[in-house]
């Protein structure tokens, strides 16, 4: 089996603590399951700023470009809030996304039945929910030109942003969604505002054209939904969805909404993927949806499961270890079933455990 290179970027706050649990897991998998994962660890975000006066050095960026997958903890903290924009920890994420050309953001929203009471929705609506939101990450209104704030008459000002998409941008993210649906429950819902936006109409037409022209996806059911209706349907009946594909702006909102259906921030992984380069290589970055949680950093109580599930996604989508990835998902379910809980997901009658206990319990289940 060929060696796979993983770059670990623990970052700030609870990042190093939760990454530590992934390191334990990797060392177990290398020894017991012969995975041959080679890890490299580097600074990012505030930790990198403290040492190098920049949140991401060129050297670390090259290492990220050269690895089979990047695993990131979290960046940021109150001590960096007053830095110039260019030096802020979050700039590292933006630069990594840009330079690795990560155009597709995969945000699963999974509600483990054992944690159903953490959701603000009725248990029957969210129990065993498993949907995937695919958000376009490098186009649309967040990047469109012209943009800016300009003076107009009477001392007033005008703020401008441009919502723009090309066929190529739409088609490549659509393909990601269909490929995921093939491995899942074979349904794709495309969300846009084709009723009021030309770029939304183009989105809808290009998604439909892609489906009509690519017969290998005929076993998948495609539907189109207006993004505002999609937001409503997500709280009304989220289990109707399998894969939702949408643009950068709507994806930002819909993926946060879907995440909150599950109620527990410490449980949510994410992945960002690039196109194939000329050598057939896809770059990727995996990270939990939560931030660096400075309020609990260093206390050994952070929930490491979002980080561990992000690693499981890397095993599936970048490293070709689908089976091990599924085993980790099952191990997470099993420890929750056993009643183990970090404080953020603690309920009456369950057993409160530390970050490290939770990581070790996952390994015990895999043994
Ligand atoms: N991708 C990223 O690295 C990322 C994302 C969001 C925020 N941030 C940064 O993180 C810092 C804190 O931001 P915030 O407080 O708004 O969001 P946050 O996600 O860090 O924390 C929100 C709340 O959830 C809790 N929480 C989050 N993850 C947890 C976990 N794994 N286990 C247990 N509890 C957890 C925190 O203790 C806090 O009470 C800021 O500097 C922000 O810029 C980074």
The mean per-residue pLDDT over the stretch 153-164 comes to: 95
Taking the centre of ligand 1 as the mean of its atom positions, its distance from the CA of residue 291, in whole angstroms, is 3
What's the mean per-residue pLDDT of the chain? 95
pLDDT at 39: 97
Which is the closest atom of ligand 1 to the Cα of 288?
1
Which of 24, 33, 142, 209 is flagged as catalytic? 142
Question: Which residue segments constitute the domains of the chain, with CATH numbers given?
Answer: 1-105+267-367 (3.40.718.10), 120-262 (3.40.718.10)
Per-residue pLDDT tens over the stretch 28-86: 999 999 999 999 999 999 999 999 999 999 999 999 999 999 999 999 999 999 999 88
243 touches 189 (CB < 8 A): yes
354 touches 301 (CB < 8 A): yes
Q: Is 365 a catalytic residue?
A: no
Determine what percent of the chain is predicted with pLDDT higher than 70.
Answer: 100
CA 265 from centroid of its chain's CA atoms: 12
Q: Is 252 a catalytic residue?
A: yes
Q: Is 212 a catalytic residue?
A: no
At 335, which helix (H) or strand (E)? helix 322-337
Question: Apex CA 325: angle with CA 324 and CA 326, to 5°?
Answer: 90
Roughly how many angstroms between the first and final C-alpha of the chain, as a whole number? 21
Per-residue pLDDT tens over the stretch 6-17: 999 999 999 999
The mean per-residue pLDDT over the stretch 287-291 comes to: 94
Among residues 161, 140, 319, 323, which one has the least CA distance to residue 245?
A: 140
> Given a cut of 90, is residue 163 above it in pLDDT?
yes
pLDDT at 10: 98
> Given a cut of 90, is residue 192 above it in pLDDT?
yes
CB-count burial class (<10 Å; 0-12, 13-18, 19+) for 49: buried
Taking the centre of ligand 1 as the mean of its atom positions, its distance from the CA of residue 262, in whole angstroms, is 16
Pocket test for ligand 1, best of 293, 301, 354 (most atoms within 8 A of CB): 293
Per-residue pLDDT tens over the stretch 75-132: 999 999 999 988 999 999 989 998 999 999 999 999 998 899 888 899 999 998 999 9
In angstroms, the CA 75 to CA 249 distance is: 22
Task: Tell me the pTM.
Answer: 0.92
Q: Is 352 a catalytic residue?
A: no
189 to 21, 208, 306: CA distances (angstroms): 35, 11, 25
In angstroms, the CA 34 to CA 144 distance is: 46
Q: Is 82 a catalytic residue?
A: no
Q: Give residue 1's pLDDT band: very low, low, confident or very high (50, 70, 90).
A: low
Which three-class secondary structure state does DSSP give residue 107? strand
> Given a cut of 80, is residue 180 above it in pLDDT?
yes
> Given a cut of 80, is residue 2 above it in pLDDT?
no
Q: Which residues line ligand 1 (CB under 6 A)?
A: 14, 74-77, 90, 93, 265-266, 287, 290-296, 302-303, 306, 344
Ligand 1 atom 13, closest CA = 291
> Given a cut of 80, is residue 344 above it in pLDDT?
yes
Tokens representing residue 255 in the block: 């993926």
Per-residue pLDDT tens over the stretch 224-260: 999 999 999 999 999 999 999 999 999 999 998 998 8
């Amino acid at each position: 089996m060929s060696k796979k290179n993983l770059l670990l970027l623990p970052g700030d706050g609870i990042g190093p603590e939760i990454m530590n649990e992934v390191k334990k897991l990797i060392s177990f998998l290398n020894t017991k399951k012969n995975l041959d994962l080679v890890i490299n660890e580097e600074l990012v975000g505030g930790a990198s700023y403290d040492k190098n006066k920049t949140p991401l050095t060129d050297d670390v960026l090259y290492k990220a470009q050269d690895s089979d997958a990047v695993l990131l903890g979290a960046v940021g903290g109150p001590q960096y809030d007053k830095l110039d924009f260019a030096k802020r920890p979050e700039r590292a994420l933006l630069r990594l996304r840009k330079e690795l050309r990560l155009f597709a953001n995969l945000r699963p929203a999974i509600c483990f039945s054992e944690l159903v009471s953490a959701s603000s929705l009725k248990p029957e609506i969210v129990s065993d929910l498993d949907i995937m939101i695919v958000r376009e990450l490098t186009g649309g209104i967040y990047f469109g030109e012209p943009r800016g704030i300009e003076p107009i008459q009477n001392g007033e000002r005008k703020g401008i942003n441009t919502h723009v998409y090309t066929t190529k941008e739409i088609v490549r993210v659509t393909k990601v969604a269909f490929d995921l649906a093939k491995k899942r429950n074979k349904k794709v819902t495309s969300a846009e505002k084709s009723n009021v936006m030309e770029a939304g109409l183009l989105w809808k037409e290009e998604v439909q054209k892609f489906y009509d022209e690519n017969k290998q996806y005929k076993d998948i059911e495609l539907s189109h939904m207006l993004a505002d209706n999609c937001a409503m349907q997500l709280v009304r009946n989220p289990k109707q969805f399998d894969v939702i594909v949408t643009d950068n702006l709507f994806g930002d909102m819909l993926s946060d909404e879907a995440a909150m259906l599950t109620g527990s921030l410490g449980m949510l992984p994410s992945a960002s993927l690039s196109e194939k380069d000329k050598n057939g290589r896809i770059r990727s970055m995996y990270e939990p949806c939560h931030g660096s949680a400075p309020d609990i950093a260093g206390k050994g109580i952070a929930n490491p499961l979002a980080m561990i599930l992000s690693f499981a996604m890397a095993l599936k989508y970048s490293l070709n270890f689908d089976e091990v990835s599924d085993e980790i998902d099952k191990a997470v379910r099993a420890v929750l079933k056993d009643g183990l809980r970090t404080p953020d997901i603690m309920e009456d009658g369950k057993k409160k455990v530390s970050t490290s206990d939770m990581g070790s319990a996952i390994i015990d289940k895999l043994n």
